[in-house]
Every structure is written in structure tokens, then in C-alpha cells.
Amino acid sequence: MDQYQYIVKGGNSLSGEVEIAGAKNAALGILAASVMTGETVTVKNVPDVSDIRAILKTIRTIGARVERVDRHCYRINGSMINRKSTVDNDDVREIRGSYYLIGALLGRHRYAAVAQPGGCEIGKRPIDQHIKGFRALGADVSLVPPGMVVAEAEVLRGTHIYMDVVSVGATINIMLAAVLAAGQTIIENAAKEPHVVDVANFLNSMGANIKGAGTDSIRILGVDQLHGTEYSIIPDQIEAGTFMFAAAVTRGDVTLRNVIPRHLDSISAKLREIGCQIHESDDELRVVAARRLGSANVKTLPYPGFPTDMQPQIAVLLGLSSGISFIHESIFEHRFEYVKELTKMGAHITVVEDKTAIIEGVEKYTGAILISPDLRAGAALVIAALAAEGFSEVGEIHFIERGYEDFPEKLRRLGAEIDIVETEAEKRAFMRRVI
């Protein structure tokens, strides 16, 4: 064993309560935006995951003061950040959300030089729509030197921007630059994801004037400057959804705490459709799955459609459901890398042209040695392992740690047998303990 990994003994139904962390993808935008003022910004409900640690480290390296108030609360002051900083280190290139520093720094200083973003290898992931938006606002954007995005403007002027594709990243990034542009910007065909709304709410709490976030037409009236604020990030829709599928696949009974049930509607609807019970209250949601579930057709779509980030998790569930299911992935090109891993466990899944998975439900999965191909697929493999007969090992868990806080601990509290092991001896000790 040359790396730490999860070891899982499957077969336990999950039950109990789990507290959902703050939304990673909202936090990435909000933490980047927090350096758009010289005043102090306090951000609460920040998830403690590696992508967030990476963006915090990055804003520190360009001169922001970042004070950790507690595990989930940071006080950030960007008064000392250098106008001409170059944002380039391994962390920036690792994560996707670092691209929000382009919009944030361009808005604040009219200059941003940021290394091109990384993130999971789930498709081509171009940033042409971000660049198109910055240029429309009056910035010169160049990709020289190679690997960098350099955006510069004398003045940014509000304008009418039509997005060619619905992009979460581009919508947020353009919004960041436009809040400090002169005049009105309208973003048409904007993404409507909850984290787009959360970043807009955060910016408004700093004095921005954004209307229409959550619809496909966002109107931004530029202001001269932003001020300090105190803000709490929304709960993570994708972490919540992942636990909903973990409950369903293990035929469990799990209550999620600190969620916004409305953000989970497309997931709840699919689970109900195939036979799960979902009970919702203000900020809680309970999933009960007492028996084998049925088949479904799923197409990933921008919000409020079924999220692409939940696609591997629902595939794991449908792989154990009765009948034949179809999943059509319409957002990213390479999102079925996990299928070969599930096949090792006994799943019957055929992928056609990297776009459609045809899933013939099997009675059971058998434990196997698995490799996480990316963040969400890695989490999906863990929930497959929880449902499987026998032991599974899940490697490359650094992907999972990018977006799930205390994943094994939370699962253990729900009755799962899972641990992180680094050596063969630790693995054997786990096996002895749970047998």
C-alpha cells in the first residue's frame, strides 16, 4: 500500500442523523470575493475540505490576512493585497474555483493574472465564456504566458452579455467583475444554481447591487466600492444529495440536518419516483428506503434539473435497483470513468459514446479494490462499497477530500464500517475489528 485509502465493510443499513457542511462551490466564490474590499469580511459555515484550504492559502499568498476564528469561520482582510499580484502556485492549478480570483481581482484592481484552473478531469472544461464576459466588460484578456490568464482594463463598463452555454463558473466570475463596473450589466442565460444565488447574496451584503440571481437573467448595477460583511454560507446541496443516496442504497433511514430541502428537489423527486420516502421540514430532510428500489431515466441538466455532480451517485443506486435504467450526461464529456470500477463489483452498466449509461440492475455488489477517478465519482464508489457484500478498498481518496468534510466519520456515525488506513497492518486491524 503506497497511499492512504478507505477500507469499507459493506452491508450495514445507514441510520441516524448527519449534519451537512457549508457548500464548497459557494465558498470558493465567496472566499475569492472576500478580497474585493479593504474592509474585514467574516465568513461562517465554511466547509473544512482541501479545495477550501487551497483557496484560503492562495488568497494569503497574495497578501490577504486570513484569520481562522474556528473550524468553519474565517475573518479575511484584503486591504494589503498587491495590485499586480500574480496568482500562481500548485494549489491554484489544482482546484477549479481559483478562476474566481480572475473576476474578483479584475473587479477590484482592474488587473488579474491567475494560473489556469485545474479541477477534476470530467471533461474539456473550457473558460471561453468567462473570457467572453470579461472582454465584454472592457478587459483585455490574454493567455500569455502559457498557462496563465491575464485580464486588464482601464475601466470596466456594464454591458449586456449572452452566455452561449449555461455555466456556473462563468456566471459567478462575470458577476464578480461586474459588481464594480460602471453602469448596468445584464447576464442572460445565467446559471441558476443555489451557489450562484449565494455568491450574489454575499456580494449584496458587501454593498453590491445584484438582482435576479436564481433566474436566467441577472442584472447588476455597478457600485464604486464594496464594504465588510458577516455572512454564513448555504448548506452543500451535493454533500446532502450524496448522503441521500447513501441512505437509499443501504436501505437505510437517515435524517440530514442543516439542509435547504428546496435545493434538493430534483434529487428528492427521483428518489420518490423509484420508491423512497422523503420527509421534509424547514432545514431537515429524512430519507427512508425500506426495500429494493425501481428503475429510472435520468438526464443531467443545469439547476433546477438533476445535477451532473450527483450522476455517479444515482448510477450506484440504479445499479442495484430492479429493471433497466438510463442516465444521459449532458454537461460533461468524461463523467463515466467510475463505471469500470463499479463493474468490478458486479454492476451491469454499458456506456454508449461517453454520454449514456444503460444500467441493468443487479441484486448485489461484491466488495472490490477501487480507484476514485474524481471527487463525486469517488464518493459514489464509497457508497457502492457500503452496499456491497464484503470488503472494499477505495484509493485516490484525496479527490473525495476535496469536497467532503469528515466523510468517513459522518458515515461511521450512521453505522457504516469505514476507516482510513495507510498500511497493511492497519488494514488487517480494521478487518479483525469488524468481522
Catalytic residues: 120
Q: Are the beta carbons of 6 and 420 closer than 8 angstroms?
A: yes
Q: Which three cell numbers stand for residue 227?
A: 464594504
| Smallest distance, ligand UD1 to C-beta of residue 123, A | 5
All 3 cell numbers of residue 154? 482601464
Does 169 bind ligand UD1 (CB under 6 A)? Our answer is yes
Residue ranges in 288-317 that form contacts with ligand UD1 under rule CB under 6 A: 308-309
Residue at grid coordinates 457500503:
386
- 233/21 Cα distance (integer angstroms): 9
Q: Does 267 participate in binding ligand UD1 (rule CB under 6 A)?
A: no
According to CB under 6 A, which one of 13, 129, 229, 311 is a site residue for ligand UD1? 129
Assess 241 for contact with ligand UD1 (CB under 6 A).
no
Give yes or no for a contact between 80 and 268, defined as CB atoms under 8 angstroms apart: no
Return the number of the residue (264 or 418) whose C-beta is nearest ligand UD1: 264
User: 145 CB contacts (<8 Å, ≥6 apart)?
Assistant: none
The CA angle 267-195-278, to the nearest 5 degrees, is 20
- 28 lies in the site for ligand UD1, by CB under 6 A: yes
Question: What are residue 418's DSSP bridge partners?
Answer: 8
Per CB under 6 A, the segment of 84-92, 124-132, 134-142, 424-432 that binds ligand UD1 is 124-132
Q: Which of 9, 72, 109, 130 binds ligand UD1 (CB under 6 A)?
A: 130
Shorter beta-carbon distance to ligand UD1: residue 8 or 35: 35
Taking CB under 6 A as the rule, does residue 367 contact ligand UD1?
Answer: no
**CA-based torsion, 112, 114, 118, 124: positive or negative:** positive
Scanning 81-89, 118-126, 196-204, 339-347 for contacts with ligand UD1 by CB under 6 A, the matching segment is: 118-126
When asked if residue 168 is in the footprint of ligand UD1 (CB under 6 A), the reply is: yes
Cβ neighbours of residue 78 closer than 8 Å, sequence gap 6 or more: 34, 35, 36, 37, 38, 41, 59, 63, 64, 65, 108
If we measure between CA atoms, which residue out of 294, 331, 295, 341 comes closest to residue 310?
331
Residues 188-227: x/- map of binding to ligand UD1 (CB under 6 A)?
Answer: ---x------------------------------------
How far is Cα of residue 294 from the mean position of the Cα atoms in its chain?
27
Which residues in this chain contact ligand UD1 in the complex, by CB under 6 A?
A: 25, 28, 96-97, 123-130, 165, 167-170, 191, 308-309, 331-332
